[in-house]
A and B are shown apart, each in its own frame.
Chain A
């Protein structure tokens, strides 16, 4: 049994004005999350990803369907029982949402007080958590004096205080710069690896998903349009929405303007070869070209790492005797996916 089982879940908000259509924020979503996974939920704003995670900790009640968290059906549960469920699910936010009326210590203490943990035990836990996130020396600082990344560290410590099995990260790095984003992602990875916490990461930043997610779920207009292990989704995106997202990271075929720019300097034949499978190495492709006396130059593309596996798209300019170039393209297509660039 998966840790989180979402079955046929829909969330509909009644229309804001009379006569207007109701808003279907989440439609017919099925999703299972196994214990120990990091799942990236990707989508543009309004795709329903934020609503979906709020259904998991019942900050928003689902309109229909079934959501099981660690075996407990939470749809239709009483508010009192939901409060218990929520103590087992941590959440961090884009805007950190720290209590400005409390110190760092007070922020981390709050969920422990809510859970009824005695004072001495609270103190030990807070010290442990602040050490884990590297803010032990900031315990009595007011949160407004912290930098963005420090605030998110406090947010993470606070979310983990009651030892939840699940952590929901709602655009947790979107307010941070690239450098501090890496810091927070490293911390989340430790939360997952060292503490065994299952993490749902909502983001619109593909780079975040690439660096942290084991599995990727793509949402559009309230529906899950694609789902799969991270490498598969990145190397072979199926749905147009996924393809658009992956393109933000690695372009497969250069776009029109890039082709134009390339053409200004390269008049040979352009082909894009895509490596999605580690059984075919780049050197095998290049060897085919060299064997046929075809000159080639790398004019566009790149290689990315996902979960320790590489994939990439390289656009090559091929020059030489047209017949041999034809032959070479034929041989290369037999090895890897090859597309002509107009």
Chain B
């Protein structure tokens, strides 16, 4: 326990790094996932802009990357990141890995939530003369907003999970903190403290998302 008190500034830094990785990963991965999921939904057969080629290709891409265990994806992406952004380690690499890992999963979550919007509602908007693009932004996404919030909360937990692994590629955060000071120095209290902080973080996130979804779905 004394060790935990000693490490309090390292713990705080690790917490900030985790928040940074989560925020970055969730924002960029979330946006990318929104684009992927929406594209999957609108291009499907019977969708509002059916396009077999795009739909099949995108499905193949998603199905290729999504099942890769995250720790392997993170190291596997290192050479590519080095070629594109000049570095394959540190928090930059960590963000890239998290964004990549999150985008495809979030894409599927978004697609699933959009499916729950009754197609007749989209048809009604089209019947009023709204363009397909307008229908996506002013009807499809707003109608799915409540479930999307819950979907992103689910993704948030997954992203927190991912940020614990990026120590492998030199990323910081609570995961790295726990492995460095807890696991390698045989001090379970340090590990448990990191776990406790993660639990609080996840609880807060989920709680906020539930409240927001309730507000949106309040009918």
Contacts and interface: CB of A to CB of B under 8 A. Distances in A.
A191 interface: no
A70 to B, nearest CB: 15
B120 A93 contact: yes
B80 interface: no
A87 B120 contact: no
A84 B129 contact: yes
B139 A59 contact: no
Given A93-B120, A97-B118, A145 B128 contact: no
Given A86-B126, A97-B124, A114 B145 contact: no
B143 to A, nearest CB: 5
A87 B134 CA distance: 14
Q: Per DSSP, are chain A's interface residues mostly helix, strand or loop, or mixed?
A: mixed
A111 B121 CA distance: 13
Q: Which of B118, B125, B128, B218 has the most CB of A within 10 A?
A: B128
B127 A144 contact: no
Contacts of B125: 99, 110, 114
Contacts of A99: 121, 124-125, 139, 142-143
Interface in A159-204: 162, 168
B123 A97 contact: yes
Contacts of B134: 114
Given A91-B124, A110-B125, A83 B130 contact: yes
A97 B143 contact: no
B169 to A, nearest CB: 41
A87 B128 contact: yes
A86 B132 CA distance: 13
Contacts of A91: 124, 127-128
A97 B128 contact: no
Interface in A60-112: 79, 83-87, 89-91, 93, 95, 97-102, 110-111
A237 B219 CA distance: 47
A87 B129 contact: yes
A138 to B, nearest CB: 14
B64 interface: no
A95 B126 contact: no
Given A59-B123, A144-B219, A145-B219, A111 B143 contact: no
Contacts of A158: 124, 128
B9 interface: no
Contacts, number: 68
Interface string A46-66: 000000000001010000000
Interface residues of A, number: 29
Contacts of A111: 128-129
A148 B130 CA distance: 25
Given A84-B129, A97-B123, A111-B128, A142 B219 contact: yes
Contacts of A110: 125, 128, 130, 138
Nearest to B122: A97
A202 to B, nearest CB: 14
A168 B124 CA distance: 11
A115 interface: yes
Nearest to B119: A97
Nearest to B125: A110
B121 A83 contact: no
Contacts of B138: 110
Nearest to B45: A16
Nearest to A168: B127
A16 B126 CA distance: 24
B124 A93 contact: yes
A55 to B, nearest CB: 12
Contacts of A89: 127
A113 B218 CA distance: 25
Nearest to A145: B219
Given A59-B126, A83-B129, A86-B126, A101 B143 contact: yes
A98 B120 CA distance: 9
A150 B134 CA distance: 27
A59 B128 CA distance: 10
A97 B125 CA distance: 9
Contacts of B218: 142
Nearest to B139: A99
Interface string B113-154: 000001011011111111100100011001101000000000
B27 to A, nearest CB: 23
Given A91-B127, A99-B125, 15 more contacts: A83-B129, A86-B126, A86-B127, A91-B128, A93-B120, A97-B118, A99-B143, A100-B121, A110-B125, A111-B128, A142-B218, A145-B219, A158-B124, A158-B128, A168-B127
21 contacts: A83-B130, A83-B131, A86-B126, A87-B129, A90-B127, A93-B120, A93-B123, A93-B124, A97-B118, A97-B120, A97-B121, A98-B121, A101-B216, A110-B125, A114-B125, A114-B130, A114-B134, A145-B219, A158-B124, A162-B129, A168-B127
Interface of B: 118, 120-121, 123-131, 134, 138-139, 142-143, 145, 216, 218-219
> Which 6 A-B pairs rank lowest in CB-CB distance, beginning with the nearest?
A144-B219, A87-B129, A97-B124, A86-B129, A111-B128, A101-B142
